[in-house]
Every structure is written in structure tokens, then in C-alpha cells.
Structure 1
Amino acid sequence: MAASTSSTPLRRRYTYEWYVVLICMLAYVFSFVDRQVLALMIEPIKRDLHLSDTQFSLLHGFAFSLFYAVMGMPLAYLADRFARPRIIATGIALWSLATAACGVSQTFVQMFLARLSVGVGEAALSPGTYSMLSDYFPKEKLGRAVAIYSLGSFIGGGVAFLIGGYVIHLLKQITTLSVPLLGDIHSWQLTFVIVGLPGFLVALLFILTVRDPQRKGLVQDSTGQARRVSMLDSLRFIREHGKTFACHYLGFSFYAMTLYCLMSWTPAFYMRRFGLSPVEAGYTLGAILLIANTTGVFCGSWLNDWLMKKGRADGPMLAGTIGAIGMLVPAVMFTQVSNLTLSLGLLVVAMFFASFPMPTSTAAMQTLSPNQMRAQISAVFLLISNLIALGIGTTLVALLTDQVFGSPKMVGMSMSAVNLIATLLAIGLLWLGCKQFRLSIAREAGKSTVAKVNEPFATGSRITADTPV
């Protein structure tokens, strides 16, 4: 009896690892609150800073994405070499300070610089987190861990709309306030201070309770020692799988363009087209993000895992393709109907499918990439994705509204045009990427087989298989 009991493997609970997932998700929530609350306050910000839609889009999209993209690369390089919790905690503190700084901005230039700094801080979070989760969890649990972390984006976006709506309601009779140390500020500026400062507590909790996991799946040199990998090594790996990464990076970037278009301009659309107040828009859209988008993340993750269990090595790419197909019609049509209830119903469907790639795009990168390259390869993706989706996509909507249609009330037409083109490109690229991803997985599996018998790569290094956590 004793022998039988001892031979039965114990099932690990991963209690601490799931705690890390939750604390990373909490940081992601705060990052999206700080990022997204701007969208709900578009009209008072435009009024008080005398901005056009195009200028506002530069604050919401381009300013943030510019430094988020540029700083993501060096920060990911550090995350692949040094303690990741310290880097992430520093980023949380920085973006929290920058968000509060938005609350004291008096001009377009000051707000633009503050938004740049928000992007710098947030660039530290996702690449480091993806890398840590890949070391904390075996591959069969990684999809769920990434999905739960990804929920933070939509919980944060929903909370941003809810908090923004509540603060606007609370201060609706007040145009300016006198705040100690800050002087007289507009009511919308106080919102940035309120949502920014609590992030310092998250940074403190992170640095005190999260430990850096042991790295697994390391690239080794010919002597069997873990080899230090440079950014050039990561770029060579991307080039080696060039077709796969081209389809992945561009396909999911255009997918994200539709998502960010929905999240950035939907409040303005409903306020301008259907006359919703900022409070009504905040509560309505906050509820949609918290329900539709979070459900979509779970379903996208489940679909990915189900496809993988069915033997589809391209499960992450195929799940993204299916999600993009489901998103196409509602993302284009919700701005074209005249009934508010029908429009919101279509928006719910669009938001549900728009959330599919959050876990699947990450799972694809982390599965294919060696350990020392994971954060850097994620950073390259975030660089391309944010420049295309957030930088170009949100600004393109504003340019169409200002320069082509010539009226702020035509923002719905601009959204439909951008969503149509972006979603069609996403479907085509991800569908083509399914085959390329299967080929890349097979190629890396072949290298691992060669490594097991100590035969060198063409580059003189090898990759160890992931050991169970």
C-alpha cells in the first residue's frame, strides 16, 4: 500500500504562481485605466485645450504608442537578462506618475509629453510578464495564465469608463477646482490624479511579493552553458521564421487596430450620434467591456486550447482567424444602424470577438521562442502592433473625420471604414500564417531532437527542452 501511494505523482497546485498572475493582472488593470480614461473625456479635453479630433488622437494614440514602442525594445532586453519584477515595478511607478502629471497639464504639448511618459512606463509590463509566466507555468497551463493576465486590459478599460463616468457625474456642476499644491484645475484633470496615484501601491506590492522565476528553455552554447542572447540573436530568430512572424505580427496588429478603434472612438460616437452624456456612455461602455470583452478572452483561450488538444499546432493562429471573421460584420455595422439598442447589440458581438487574440497572440510567441528571446520577441510585436494599431489606427479615424468627412458627427463612418480594411487584412494574414506557424513549430521541434543527441545547430548553439515546473 505504501509503495503504491509513493509511486503516485502528486499534482502541483501552483498557488503562488497563480498569485503572480493575479498581481500582474492587477498591474495591467491599472495600466489600462490610466491609458483608457482619456477616451471618455474627449469633449471637455478638446474644449479646454482647444484641440481638433486629430490632435486628440495624437494624445490618445500616437503619443502613447511612440514611446511605448521605442522603449519596449531596450526594456525587453533588460527583462531577458535581469530581474524582471524590479523592471516591471519601476515601470508601474513611472506610468502612475505620468498619469497624475496629465492632471496638471495646461497645454497640448504638456499633455503630449505626459502621455509619452505613460507609454514608457507601460512598455515594461507585458514583455516581462509574458516571459515570467512562461517560466512559472508548463505549456499546458500557459494559455490560461496568459488569458487571466489579459483580462486586465478589459477590466481596466471597463473600470476606466465606469470611474470616468462616476467622476464626471460627481463633478458635473463644477468646472474648476482649487487643489492644494496644484492650484486651480479642471474637473477632468482631477480624474487623472485620482486614477494615477494608486498605481504606486501596486508597484510597492509587486516589488515586495513577486520573485523572479528560474529561467527555462534556455539557449545553450556548445559547452552546455546558458548563452547570453543579444537583440541581434532575437532578430536573427525572427528572420529565420520570417514568414511566420510577418503573418503573426501584421495579422494581429491589424486585428488590434480594430480593437483600439472600438475602444478609443466608441464613446465619442455614442455621444455625438445618439446624444449620450459622458456619464451614460461611461456606464454603458464600461459594462460592455467588463462582460463582452472578458468573456471573449476566456473563449479565445478555450478555443486555442481546444484546437491544440485536437492536434492543431497552429491553434493560436487559427483561433485568431476565427475571431477576426466573427468580428468583421458587427465591427463595421454597429455605426451604420439608426437604433441605439441594435447598435449596442452589434457592439457587444464585435467586442466579444475583438478580444480573442489577447491570449492567442501571446501564446503563439511564447511557444515558439527560446527563453532568452521571449521578452524581446514580444517587444518587437508590441512595437509593431502599437505603432500600427494605436498610433496609425486611432489617428486614421480622426484624419478621415476631420479631412475627408469634415464633421465630428461623421466619426461613425470613419470607424466603419477603418474597421473594414483592418479586419479584412487581419483575416487574410492570420489565415496565411496558420501554415507558416505549423512549419516553424516543426522546424524548432526538429532542432530540439538534434540537440538531444548533442548535434550542434548551424549557429553553434542549442535550445534545451522546457523542464516541468
Structure 2
Amino acid sequence: MRNQNRSLASIWDNIEPWWMVLVLLMFYVMSILDRLALNMLVVPIQKEMGFTDVQMSLIIGPAFAIAHGLFAFPLGWACDRLSRRKVLFGGFAVWSAATVCAGLSKTFPSLFASRVVVGAAEASLMPAAYSMIADRVPRHRMTTAMSIFGMGPKLGNAFAFGVGGWVIAYTASVGTMAFPVVGEMSAWRSALILLGAPGVLLALLVFTFREPIRRGMNGLTERAKAVTEQVGEIKFKDYIKQRKLLYGLLLLGFSCTTVAALASLSWVPTYITRHFGLTPKEYAPALSILYAVGACTMLLKGIIIDWMYKRGYQDAHIRFYAFILVLALPAIGVAFTTDDFKVFVIAYAALDVILLNSVFYVSATIQLMAPTHLRGRVMGMFILVVGTLAPTLSPPLVAYITEHVFEDQAKLGYSLISVSATSVILAIIVLGISLRYLRPELQRVSDENEAKRKEAEAAEAAEANAKPATA
């Protein structure tokens, strides 16, 4: 019986890391669903509430983004110090409940506030997930695990336009729906309630796997851990200060790519309705398939980057991304000028594959570059800057150009071209410059790790040789 239990435990030890990755992927998908559901409901919300494009852009952009960015660093700190499972459980449950509250909102401030809570709570996901993957998945499988988790935004987009689109279409066909306590709700309100409520229970899945042991902290006493963490907190400022130019370039470059990605992601549903005259029920299946296919390319990208890395390109993640960004420019031009919906879908699919998920490239680079005890905070710093700057600027900027430069809602496509193309060009330039500083930094980290490995092997050999002499 004991041998059987040990065998089962051994099997679970091999399966558990990948089960954890799949659960985290599901959380990522649900976060994108809760984030994008409102984007598909802009038109019915405007009809009922009378909001302008600028007001809606503030709700789908800054309301979420500023809170997401401001809470990223403190939640990254929490993930470096506390149980990451508990941090993530609280975040998932809260952002799901806030999505339900968005459906109950009666005024602009209340809808804005619900999006603030969604943004703040979702800031728990990235630091917790990447930290747990880095500590639990074997090193030689790291890129594969990161690629699987990195499929989250694309699968989330597919899920949002597939399942989310179906829920929105269903509630629209039914009209008003009655719910316990709150009573009858209009279609868009019902959709948000139905999409947000399951997350409160799904959050419990985080307890189906163990809290990963932090690499580098095994065997330390509680006092030693406390000292190590305190030193890590002090060194964080010095670490960033010594590499301020490199991190500054990476932050600026990925802010630009995120501006371009969010410009299209935030306004494409509205653009399709205005330009092609299609409803969510009509265009959602096409976008769902588009995003699902895009998700599969994450694994292909991971294979290509691994191939480059094995051939000596330690900066493979950023180098590869900077290269494919060039291809985004013609895709932007075609997608937002064509009058053929099929051509739009093909061009937008190419744009989606290129721009999303940019966080995969920078997070993988952070795992290679940042010290173990600082990863949560470094990731939090990126979310704070990129996650605040890009979403705060992107949707309102597109709306402002549409209303005040072109002065025509039908010219939303030209606004999307202006914002996306300019951002991509800046990103190509900035990320290209960052490679000059990234390569020597990664080489330095690699040399340090190799020196530590040799030192550890020498210490083990010395200890082994000393034992016979002692005996």
C-alpha cells in the first residue's frame, strides 16, 4: 500500500506543475473575458446610459488601467512575501464580483468604480502566476510553460468573443432577465452578471495545487528568510538604478506596443459595428476563431525563440519581437482601410499574432535577468508603468482623434491607424536600441550563474573529500 501511495504521489508530482499552469491559464482567460466583455457592450450601454465615446473610453481604458498599474507593485510585493495562491484567490474572487457589480451600475461613477476594482484585483494575476511557474516548473521546460500561460490573452479573446459573444447575443434576444434580489435587468446588465458570477467559485481551483517552494529559499530558517527578504527589498532600488537605461528602454518600448495593441483591441468591436454594420452575434464567431488560431502561434513562437536561444542569442525574446513588429505596419494599413470584412479578418489576424501577447516576451526576459527574490516586484513595476500608461492613453487617444481631429465617428479606422502605426514605429526603434544594453546584461547574469554553479560543485566535492579524512 505504501509503495502504491508513493507511486501515486510520484505521478502527481510530475503532473502537478502542468495542472498548475493550466489552472493559471484558465484564470488568465477569465480575466480577459471579464476585461473585454464591456468592450462588446459599448453600443447598448451608450443607448441606455447616454454615454459619449470619450466617457466609454474612460471606463474601458483609464478606469481599469490606472488601478491595474497602481496595485501591480504592492501585489507584486505581496507575491514575494506571502502565499501566492491566497493572493491570487482573493484577486480572482474580487474581480469576478466587481464584474457582476458593473452590471448593477446605474450611473457613470458607479460603472467607472466597478472597473477600477476589476483593474486593481486583476493586478494580482501576473506577479503570482509568473513567480509560481518560475519556481515550480523544471528549468528546461520553462519556455514551454511560459508559452502555454502566454496563450491566455489570445484564448481569452477567443473565449470573450465566442462564449462572451454568445451570452451577449442570448441576453439580447431574451431582453430583460430576472435575478434573485436585484430583480429584472436589461440585456447588457444580464450579460455582465452571467459572465462574472462563475469566477467567484472558480477561484477555489487555486487550492488544487501546492504553493511552490521558492527557488533559492529551500532549507533556510524563518529568520534567514526574513533577513534575505529584507536585503532583497533594500537591493531592489539599487538593482533598478544600476540598470535604469535598460529598463527604461524596455518599459518605453513595451508601452508603445501595448498602446498599439489596446487601440485595436478596445475599439475593434465598435469599429466592426460602425464600418461593416455587423452585430456582436454576427462578428463574434469570426473573431473567436481568429483569436483561437492566434493562441496556437504562442507555442510556435516559443519553439522559434528556444531555437534562437540555443544558438547563442540570449536576447532572443526581445530580438524576435522587435523583428516581427515590422510586419505589423502593413497589417494595420490593410485592416483599417478595407471594406471587405474577410480581408479585415485576415489582416487583423496577422496584427493580433504580431502584437499580442507582448507581456510574454518581457516576462520571459525578466525570469532570465532578475534575481529570484525580486521577480515579483520587477514584474509589478512593468505592470505599473506599462499597464497604467498604455491603457490610460490608448482608448481615450483614439476617441479624441475620432471626435476632435476627424470629427466623424465613421472615421474611427483612421484614428486606429494613426495611433497604432505611430506606436509600432516608436517601439521598433526603442526595442532595437535596448538590445545594445540587454545582451551584455544577460551575458553577465549567465556568467554569474555559471560561476555560482562551479562554486557549488567545488564545495560539494570538497565536502565529499573531507568525509573520509574525518572518518
Look up the SS of the partner of 1:184 in the other structure: strand
The 2-side partners of 1:352 and 1:449 are apart by 35
The 2-side partners of 1:300 and 1:425 are apart by 23
Report the equivalent of 2:360: 359
The 2-side partners of 1:377 and 1:62 are apart by 22
The 1-side partners of 2:169 and 2:240 are apart by 49
Report the equivalent of 1:336: 337
Q: 1:147 to 1:279 in 2, by over 3 A?
A: same
Report the equivalent of 2:426: 425
Report the equivalent of 2:396: 395
1:19 matched to 2:19: yes
What is the correspondence of 1:212-231 to structure 2 with a 5 Å cutoff?
212-217=211-216, 225-226=224-225, 227-229=228-230, 231=233
Residue identity in the other structure for 1:146: M
Superposed displacement of residue 231, structure 1 = 4.6
Q: 1:368 to 1:410 in 2, by over 3 A?
A: same
- Is this contact kept in 2: 1:158–1:287, CA < 8 A? yes
Q: State the superposition RMSD in angstroms.
A: 2.5
Q: How many residues align?
A: 442
Show CA shifts across 1:79-99 (max 9, x none): 001111111111111101101
What is the correspondence of 1:138-149 to structure 2 with a 5 Å cutoff?
138-149=138-149
Residue identity in the other structure for 1:196: G
Report the equivalent of 2:194: 194
The 2-side partners of 1:252 and 1:235 are apart by 21
Superposed displacement of residue 220, structure 1 = 13
What is the correspondence of 1:375-394 to structure 2 with a 5 Å cutoff?
375-394=376-395
Residue identity in the other structure for 1:383: L
Q: Which runs of 5+ in 1 are unaligned?
A: 1-9, 455-469
Report the equivalent of 2:296: 295
Report the equivalent of 2:176: 176
Show CA shifts across 1:393-442 (max 9, x none): 12211111122112221111110001111111111111112221111112
- Is this contact kept in 1: 2:154–2:357, CA < 8 A? no
- Is this contact kept in 2: 1:257–1:422, CA < 8 A? yes
Superposed displacement of residue 17, structure 1 = 0.5
- Is this contact kept in 1: 2:318–2:361, CA < 8 A? yes
Look up the SS of the partner of 1:178 in the other structure: strand
Compare 28-37 and 169-178 and name the one that shifted more. 169-178
Look up the SS of the partner of 1:41 in the other structure: helix
- Is this contact kept in 2: 1:296–1:356, CA < 8 A? no
Residue identity in the other structure for 1:216: R
The 1-side partners of 2:86 and 2:172 are apart by 40
The 2-side partners of 1:427 and 1:13 are apart by 42
- Is this contact kept in 2: 1:219–1:372, CA < 8 A? no
Compare 438-447 and 64-73 and name the one that shifted more. 438-447
Look up the SS of the partner of 2:342 in the other structure: helix
The 2-side partners of 1:12 and 1:177 are apart by 44
Superposed displacement of residue 177, structure 1 = 3.3
Report the equivalent of 1:267: 269
1:349 matched to 2:312: no
- Is this contact kept in 1: 2:83–2:211, CA < 8 A? yes
Compare 105-114 and 193-202 and name the one that shifted more. 193-202
Given candidates 249, 252, 275, the residue that maps to 2:251 is 249
Residue identity in the other structure for 1:404: V
- Is this contact kept in 1: 2:171–2:190, CA < 8 A? no
Compare 373-382 and 317-326 and name the one that shifted more. 317-326
The 2-side partners of 1:315 and 1:243 are apart by 19
Superposed displacement of residue 15, structure 1 = 1.6
Show CA shifts across 1:4-23 (max 9, x none): xxxxxx99984210110000
Superposed displacement of residue 245, structure 1 = 1.3
The 2-side partners of 1:44 and 1:376 are apart by 39
Residue identity in the other structure for 1:406: E
Structure ranking higher in helix proportion: 2
Residue identity in the other structure for 1:236: D
The 1-side partners of 2:391 and 2:123 are apart by 14
1:210 matched to 2:212: no
- Is this contact kept in 2: 1:301–1:360, CA < 8 A? no
The 1-side partners of 2:216 and 2:324 are apart by 30
Superposed displacement of residue 217, structure 1 = 4.2
Superposed displacement of residue 331, structure 1 = 2.2
Residue identity in the other structure for 2:286: T
Look up the SS of the partner of 2:327 in the other structure: helix
Report the equivalent of 1:237: 239
Look up the SS of the partner of 1:211 in the other structure: coil
Superposed displacement of residue 447, structure 1 = 4.1
Show CA shifts across 1:156-206 (max 9, x none): 121111233223332334443333311232111111111111112221121
What is the correspondence of 1:63-142 to structure 2 with a 5 Å cutoff?
63-142=63-142
Look up the SS of the partner of 2:326 in the other structure: helix
Which structure has the greater CA radius of gyration?
2
Q: Which runs of 5+ in 2 are unaligned?
A: 1-9, 456-471
1:323 matched to 2:324: yes
Q: 1:358 to 1:114 in 2, by over 3 A?
A: same
The 1-side partners of 2:307 and 2:452 are apart by 30
The 2-side partners of 1:377 and 1:259 are apart by 22
The alignment-based identity, stated in percent, is 26
The 2-side partners of 1:119 and 1:294 are apart by 23
Superposed displacement of residue 266, structure 1 = 0.8
Look up the SS of the partner of 1:181 in the other structure: coil
1:58 matched to 2:58: yes
- Is this contact kept in 2: 1:401–1:411, CA < 8 A? yes
Q: 1:160 to 1:449 in 2, by over 3 A?
A: closer
- Is this contact kept in 2: 1:54–1:395, CA < 8 A? yes
